[in-house]
């Protein structure tokens, strides 16, 4: 078991190093000069040269990359080129809203997916099955940048139930969470349906029926419990997707999280902030996937014994 965990951790470390290098190179390939954005095109060449030197942007890419790695190793993310504030401070101000939105979206996804998936599995090839899968198909087909405005038009503009944008309480969290969680709910409901249908054909389910157990007890205690393993795996893998999808959702609803900070920093050519934001999201994705992989091995011995 220890070898299995170490192998997964080493693999994750290698992926994170690759992500660091890739993010650094891609950010520096983005067109535009942050110095011109900060000083304007009318600034003199001397002012541009002095500012470029003071920010270390006149160094070679290799030197900047080594300096970036050195800072990461000491948890020193550097300074924002635009606001002149420590990037760690900016991240600290924005990370909790993103975590809050991600957890709320996950809650919404589970709240929608489990009833839909169970209803579809118990009524296979019947009207409720078609209805549930039709709803999930709509949810996965509508992108966040379209779902968000539609929900705003209906629940904010027409009905006036929720705020249009911003982070001003629990009510302002409902529409962003619903927008972000609807796509995951569609994927989860299909997985729950498929997994539950497979479990319902097992011998121990027929034995439970023969013993006269109620249908509710059979589903809740025996079938659903054993059908959750692939569902939990999918939830773990999709948390990273929620973080990535939060970028669009936060812009639509003016939610002050990491996604909005990333887009704002891209527009300002604030390379250090963009690097850290993307790196943080990517690293979180890798870490969650690794922990999910390890948990899967703990729950199912066949996974680790096959290695």
Tell me which fold the domain 90-267 belongs to: MetI-like fold (1.10.3720)
Got the DSSP string for 108-173? HHHHHHHHHHHHHHHTTTSHHHHHHHHHHHHHHHS-HHHHHHHHIIIIIIIS--S-SSS--SSHHH
> Is residue 250 within 8 Å of residue 260, measured between CB atoms?
yes
Residues 6+ apart with CB under 8 A from 5: 294, 297
Q: In whole angstroms, what is the distance from residue 254 CA to residue 175 CA? A: 12
Classify residue 216 by burial, with Cβ atoms within 10 Å: 0-12, 13-18, 19+. exposed
Only one residue has tokens 């080493």, namely 10
User: Structure tokens of 127?
Assistant: 């009207």
C-alpha distances out from residue 73 to 78, 156, 237, Å: 12, 46, 27
Q: In whole angstroms, what is the distance from residue 278 CA to residue 262 CA? A: 7
Burial 175-210 (b: 16+ CB within 10 A, else e): bbbbbbbbbbbbbbbbbbbbbbbebbeeeebeebee
pLDDT in 10s for each residue of the chain, 307 residues: 667 677 777 877 788 888 878 877 777 776 666 666 666 666 677 766 776 776 666 777 777 778 777 777 777 777 787 777 888 888 888 888 888 888 888 888 888 888 888 888 888 778 877 788 787 777 777 877 888 888 888 888 888 888 888 778 788 888 888 888 888 888 888 888 888 887 777 777 777 777 777 777 777 766 777 777 777 777 777 777 777 667 788 888 888 888 888 888 877 777 788 888 888 887 888 888 777 777 766 666 655 555 5
Only one residue has tokens 């500012």, namely 51
pLDDT digits (tens, 9 = 90+) for 13-42: 788 888 878 877 777 776 666 666 666 666
Give CA 181 to chain center in angstroms. 10
Task: Give domain limits for the chain.
Answer: 2-73, 90-267
Which neighbouring-strand residues pair with 79? Answer: 86
Classify residue 264 by burial, with Cβ atoms within 10 Å: 0-12, 13-18, 19+. middle
Percent helix, strand and coil across the chain, each to the nearest 5:
80, 0, 20
């Amino acid at each position: 078991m220890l070898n299995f965990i170490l192998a997964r951790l080493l693999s994750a470390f290698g992926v994170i190093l690759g992500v660091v290098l890739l993010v650094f190179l891609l950010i520096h390939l983005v067109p535009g000069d942050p110095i011109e954005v900060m000083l304007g095109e009318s600034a003199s060449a001397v002012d541009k040269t002095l500012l470029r030197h003071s920010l270390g942007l006149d160094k070679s890419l290799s030197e900047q990359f080594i300096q970036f790695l050195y800072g990461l190793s000491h948890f020193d993310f550097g300074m924002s080129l635009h606001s002149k504030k420590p990037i760690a401070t900016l991240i600290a101000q924005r990370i909790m809203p993103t975590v809050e939105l991600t957890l709320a979206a996950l809650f919404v996804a589970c709240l929608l997916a489990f009833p839909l998936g169970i209803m579809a599995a118990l009524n296979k090839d019947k009207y409720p099955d078609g209805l549930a899968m039709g709803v999930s198909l709509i949810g996965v087909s509508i992108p966040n940048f379209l779902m968000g405005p539609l929900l705003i038009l209906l629940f904010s503009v027409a009905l006036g139930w929720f705020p249009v944008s911003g982070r001003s309480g629990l009510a302002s969290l409902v529409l962003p969470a619903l927008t972000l969680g609807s796509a995951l709910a569609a994927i989860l409901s299909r997985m729950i349906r498929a997994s539950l249908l497979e479990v319902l054909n097992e011998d121990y389910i027929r034995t439970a029926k023969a013993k006269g157990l109620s249908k509710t007890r059979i589903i809740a205690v025996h079938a659903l419990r054993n059908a959750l393993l692939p569902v939990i795996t999918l939830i773990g893998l999709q948390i990273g997707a929620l973080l990535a999808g939060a970028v669009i959702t936060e812009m639509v609803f003016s939610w002050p999280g990491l996604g909005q900070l990333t887009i704002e920093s891209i527009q300002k050519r604030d390379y250090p902030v963009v690097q850290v934001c993307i790196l943080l999201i990517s690293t979180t994705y890798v870490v969650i996937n690794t922990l999910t992989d390890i948990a899967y091995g703990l729950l199912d011995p066949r996974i680790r014994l096959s290695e």
